[in-house]
Amino acid sequence: MKAARASEAVQTERGQGARAVRHVAIIMDGNGRWAKKRMLPRIAGHKKGVEAARATVRAAGELGIEVITLYAFSSENWRRPEAEVSDLMGLLRVFIRTDIDELANNGVRLRVIGDYRALAPDLVKMIDGAIARTAHNERTTLVIALNYGSQNEIVRAARALAERAKAGDLDPAAIDEAAIAGLLDTEGLPELDLLIRTSGEKRLSNFLLWQSAYAEMMFVDTLWPDFGKADLAAALDQFAQRERRFGGL
């Protein structure tokens, strides 16, 4: 009911086209460049990026977006310098510790995709607690991709189906798109409508490859720390002007 009312509000405020945007995903890129332009250490860019994430989640709720998925840490990000990875994990701890009350009080449900259980035990415990605390919220779902890689996600789904087929519990001929989608980390979420990447880069970086099959994509020049509600609203306006045919005429 809350999500329906939010969608109705968006229809009134932004028009029929925006009402169809249920699920938005963002590749939050440009923290390092933001800091470099200001001759600041990279951690300053990441801290400012957390502020942008906080503001964008608030904006998503205000604009009636049902699900917002943020690419926080990829399975490839482990290749970064150890100090930077440590800083990122520290910021994640701070975010959960300081923002969980606001998320819970504002009806935001937290969900995490990716192999987050490979993170430090204390961080896993914090994440599990935040997920449990917000599990019954309905206004907005915040999905954070942590230690996430889309190719690995698809491999895990394929392996699970292969094991079922090998055990005789599944006819390989019965494997279809729905069978695979049902084993992805995003199972149960609305289909992805819009994927945004900030900073001007134009690639998916192993993010939601399956889910992006018919998503609209927008690559904006704004560096992530400078991204805010106005940018998100502008993306929804642009989305409303696009014609989505899903392979048809």
Catalytic residue among 77, 106, 152, 206: 77
111 appears as a binding residue in the annotation = no
- CB of 197 closer than 8 Å to CB of 74: no
75 appears as a binding residue in the annotation = yes
203 appears as a binding residue in the annotation = yes
Question: Computed from CA positions of residues 182, 185, 190, 194, in that sequence, does the dihedral angle turn out positive or negative?
Answer: negative
Catalytic residue among 29, 99, 193, 231: 29
33 appears as a binding residue in the annotation = yes
137 appears as a binding residue in the annotation = no
Cβ neighbours of residue 30 under 8 Å, at least 6 residues apart? 45, 198, 199, 200, 222, 223, 224, 225
Q: Is 29 a catalytic residue?
A: yes
210 appears as a binding residue in the annotation = no
76 appears as a binding residue in the annotation = yes
Sheet containing 216-219: which strands, arranged edge to edge? 108-113, 140-148, 67-74, 23-27, 194-197, 216-219
Cβ neighbours of residue 187 under 8 Å, at least 6 residues apart? 181
Number of C-beta neighbours around residue 170 at 10 A: 16
30 appears as a binding residue in the annotation = yes
15 appears as a binding residue in the annotation = no
Using DSSP, state whether 243 is helix, strand or coil: coil
Q: Which residues are known catalytic residues?
A: 29, 77
Residues annotated within the binding site for Mg(2+) are 29, 216
| Binding-site residues for substrate | 30-34, 42, 46, 74-76, 78, 80, 197, 203-205
Binding-site sequence positions: 29-34, 42, 46, 74-76, 78, 80, 197, 203-205, 216
